[in-house]
Amino acid sequence: MALIKAANDPGIVQLGAAVPDPDYLPTQAVARAVARVARLQRTRAAGYMMPPGAPELRRQIARRMSETGGGISAEDIVITTGCQEALSLALRAVTQPGDVVAVESPAFYGLLHVLESLGLEALEIPAHPHEGMALDALAFAFERWPVKACVVVPNFSNPLGFCMPDTHKRALIGLLAKHGVPLIEDDVYGDLGFDHRRPSTCMGLAPDADIIHCSSFSKTLAPGLRIGWVAAGRHRERIEYLKYVSSIASPTVPQLAVAELLESGRYERYLREVRGKYASAVSRMGDAVMKYFPEGTRVSQPQGGFVLWVELPGTIDSFELARHALKQGVSIAPGPLFSASGKFRNFIRLSCARVWDERLERALTTLAGLVR
Ligand SMILES: Cc1ncc(COP(=O)(O)O)c(C=O)c1O
């Protein structure tokens, strides 16, 4: 919670939370769309938008998803309050408290918090830095544990940044089908590939498999809109009901505004601009870490998204480093947050979605000094 709260403090250089600086977001276009829908659809905007959510937004999401295969329709989509709620609803739809859920190791810490709060057991399966979840380890886990669901971030994972090759995605889907285990895919970074290619989704590759697809516009349009979605496959009715139970509905104005940004083509234009910016920001931050940090430091080579996973010399305790760094006005995400069992003690995650300036460079040299 200290890390989460630090994200609200403008006096701190934010390298911890994976939240883009507003300079990377299309804030003007978002503000205009919000103002326009609030004015032109005043009465509709004031009411509940009951699950599954605004039809025009679901149509636009389904259209974009269909471009990566699968023939998704608006009826398949349930609008949620961000990807975090999407993950929570997906897990609640297919598990009971006490169940075992296979996750990547390292995994996005928000997912681990959701698992913990639902009384689920996270079973960590090692993730390869280029290919994602190790399938031999997953197959081995199936022999020993009654795994009830598997959650992966196949495209530009957080924190490793890999993009699972299609052959690997297909093999994962096949392995899960063999054991009757549903796959929850989190595609929140899928639109942010550095080579401008939109990678496939597991749902697109295998429309008939038991897959629940979760995503949001938090990494692209604005996290504060809190608009995400679930393409729920065979679990749609249950997820619609769970969405209603947890928050009745997601706010109406942001749903209508996002629908407009998608329909007008503004979203695609923004993506074309920002992917290159993230590629440069990640590469620049990686170079700076290698320049300032001591020997023995290694950095990931993400293929998309905007976070770097940094391995520090083995003697470093990243929790202690994070505490000292926060006192000096810099927030970082310590490695053990990304594990359910305290792994990655000498790792940190850095968010690179910051405008490069003196303050940022100073923050990195401060961190490097603390590591030394
Ligand atoms: C992999 C991953 N999934 C989900 C989320 C949560 O997204 P949202 O802000 O849309 O709830 C994040 C945010 O950091 C994330 O990195």
Q: Pocket around ligand 1: residues whose beta carbon is below 6 Å from it?
A: 18, 82-84, 108, 110, 153, 158, 186, 188, 216, 218, 223, 228
Share of the chain above pLDDT 70, in %: 100
What does the pLDDT average to over 1-27?
88
What does the pLDDT average to over 146-167?
97
Of residues 263, 259, 295, the one with CA closest to residue 372: 295
Q: How confident is the model at residue 108 (pLDDT cuts 50, 70, 90)?
A: very high
Which of 80, 84, 307 has most ligand 1 atoms within 8 Å of its beta carbon, as the pocket-test mutant? 84
Q: How confident is the model at residue 122 (pLDDT cuts 50, 70, 90)?
A: very high
3-state secondary structure of 255: helix
Burial grade of 179 (CB within 10 A; 0-12, 13-18, 19 or more): middle
Is the pLDDT assigned to residue 7 strictly greater than 80? Answer: no
Ligand 1 atom at shortest distance from the alpha carbon of 17: 14
Q: How confident is the model at residue 113 (pLDDT cuts 50, 70, 90)?
A: very high
CA of 307 relative to ligand 1 center, distance in Å: 12
CA of 219 relative to ligand 1 center, distance in Å: 8
3-state secondary structure of 215: strand
CA of 189 relative to ligand 1 center, distance in Å: 9
Which domains are seen in the chain, by residue range?
Answer: 2-26+268-371 (3.90.1150.10), 27-266 (3.40.640.10)
What does the pLDDT average to over 129-142?
97
3-state secondary structure of 341: coil
Is the pLDDT assigned to residue 4 strictly greater than 90? Answer: no
Task: Identify the sign of the CA torsion 88, 91, 95, 100.
Answer: negative
Which of 81, 85, 88, 108 has most ligand 1 atoms within 8 Å of its beta carbon, as the pocket-test mutant? 108
Task: Identify the sign of the CA torsion 87, 88, 93, 97.
Answer: positive
What does the pLDDT average to over 44-69?
96
In this structure, the residue with its CA closest to atom 14 of ligand 1 is 18
Whole-structure pTM value: 0.97
Ligand 1 atom at shortest distance from the alpha carbon of 228: 10
CA of 143 relative to ligand 1 center, distance in Å: 31
CA of 222 relative to ligand 1 center, distance in Å: 12
Q: What is the pLDDT of residues 162-217, one digit of tens each?
A: 999 999 999 999 999 999 999 999 999 999 999 978 999 999 999 999 999 999 99
Q: What is the pLDDT of residues 286-343, one digit of tens each?
A: 999 999 999 999 999 999 999 999 999 999 999 999 999 999 999 999 999 999 999 9
Ligand 1 atom at shortest distance from the alpha carbon of 81: 11
Q: How confident is the model at residue 271 (pLDDT cuts 50, 70, 90)?
A: very high
* pLDDT the model gives residue 1: 79
Is the pLDDT assigned to residue 58 strictly greater than 80? Answer: yes
Is the pLDDT assigned to residue 2 strictly greater than 80? Answer: no
* pLDDT the model gives residue 6: 76
CA of 4 relative to ligand 1 center, distance in Å: 13
Pairing of strands 298-299, 228-231: unpaired
pLDDT, the chain, mean: 96
CA of 82 relative to ligand 1 center, distance in Å: 7
